[in-house]
Amino acid sequence: MSAAAAAPTSPAQGTFPASQYRVTFGHAVTSEWIKFRTLRSTMWTLGATFVVLVGLALLVSATTGSPTTGPGVSDADIATTPLVAGTGFGQLVLAVLGALTITGEYSTGMIRSTFSAVPTRTPALVAKALVVVVASFVVAAVSTLVAVAIVKPIFSGKPWALDLGNDDILRVVIGMPLYLAATALLALAFGILIRSSAGAIFAVIGLVLVIGPILANIPVHWLNNIADYLPSQAGQNLLTIHPTQGPAPWIGFLVMAAWGVGLFAIGAFIAKERDA
112 near other proteins, rule: CB under 8 A? yes
**Nearest approach, Cβ of 30 to other proteins (angstroms)?**
4
Report the nearest approach of other proteins to the CB of residue 85 (Å). 31
Q: Is 39 helix (H, G, I), strand (E, B) or coil?
A: coil
CB of 26 or CB of 206, closer to other proteins? 26
63 binds other proteins (CB under 8 A): no
**86/94 Cα distance (integer angstroms):** 12
- Quick check: 120 binds other proteins (CB under 8 A)? yes
Q: Based on CB atoms, which residue is closest to other proteins, 2 or 63?
A: 2
Please, which residues have CB within 8 angstroms of residue 95's CB and are 6 or more apart in sequence? 183, 184, 186, 187, 201, 204, 205, 208
Among 70, 222, 244, 273, binds other proteins (CB under 8 A): 273
8 lies in the site for other proteins, by CB under 8 A: yes
Closest CB 146 distance from other proteins, rounded Å: 28
Could you tell me the sign of the dihedral formed by the alpha carbons of 239, 243, 246, 247, in that order? positive
First to last CA, the chain: 32
Stretch in the footprint of other proteins (CB under 8 A) among 17-25, 64-72, 134-142, 246-254: 17-25
CA angle (78, 250, 137) in 5-degree steps: 80
Q: State yes or no: residue 146 binds other proteins (CB under 8 A).
A: no
Using CB under 8 A as the binding rule, the residues of this chain from 19 to 38 that contact other proteins are 19, 21-24, 27-28, 30-32, 34-35, 38
Q: Is 119 near other proteins (CB under 8 A)?
A: yes
Q: What is the CA radius of gyration of the chain?
A: 23
Q: What is the 3-state secondary structure (H, E, C) of 113-172?
A: HHHHHCCCCHHHHHHHHHHHHHHHHHHHHHHHHHHHHHHHHHHCCCCCCCCCCCHHHHHH
Contacts for 142 with CB less than 8 Å, ≥ 6 apart: 50
What values do phi and psi take at 65, rounded to 5?
A: -90, -110
Among 118, 263, 268, 271, binds other proteins (CB under 8 A): 118
**Minimum distance of other proteins from residue 38's CB (angstroms):** 4
Binding site for other proteins (CB under 8 A): 1-6, 8-13, 15-16, 19, 21-24, 27-28, 30-32, 34-35, 38-41, 104-105, 108-113, 115-120, 124, 273, 275-276
